[in-house]
């Protein structure tokens, strides 16, 4: 099943399916190691539920919810 990253729950795992954004944001997302096929796990969210922290390739990254909106994730 494919869902938007914003909709993922804490500790849920998945594989990035698509990232639909170009320009600076798209490039930054890719530079940090988020490309299609990458496995991720939601580590948690900030006290105000935004940004979100994820576990990628053994490191922890943070994204704002409106940035996570561009990322579709394949989950079980």
Q: Does 4 bind other proteins (CB under 8 A)?
A: no
| H/E stretch holding 9 | none
Binding mask 13-52 for other proteins (x = CB under 8 A): -----xxx-x-xxxxxxxxxx-xxxxx-x-xx-xxxxxx-
Min dist CB 11 to other proteins, Å, is 10
Q: Does 76 bind other proteins (CB under 8 A)?
A: no
In eight-state DSSP terms, residue 51 is S
Min dist CB 55 to other proteins, Å, is 5
Check if the beta carbon of residue 63 is closer than 8 Å to that of residue 2: no
**Strand positions, DSSP E, 5-70:** 13-19, 39-45, 52-56, 59-63
Residue 73 is encoded by which pair of tokens? Answer: 């994730």
Report the interface residues with other proteins, using CB under 8 A.
18-20, 22, 24-33, 35-39, 41, 43-44, 46-51, 53, 55-64, 67
């Amino acid at each position: 099943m494919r869902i938007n990253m914003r909709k993922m729950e804490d500790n849920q795992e998945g594989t990035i399916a698509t990232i639909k954004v170009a320009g600076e944001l798209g490039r930054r997302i890719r530079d940090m190691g988020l490309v299609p096929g990458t496995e991720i796990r939601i580590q948690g969210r900030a006290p105000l539920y935004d940004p979100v922290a994820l576990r990628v390739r053994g490191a922890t990254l943070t994204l704002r919810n409106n940035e996570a909106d561009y990322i579709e994730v394949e989950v079980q």
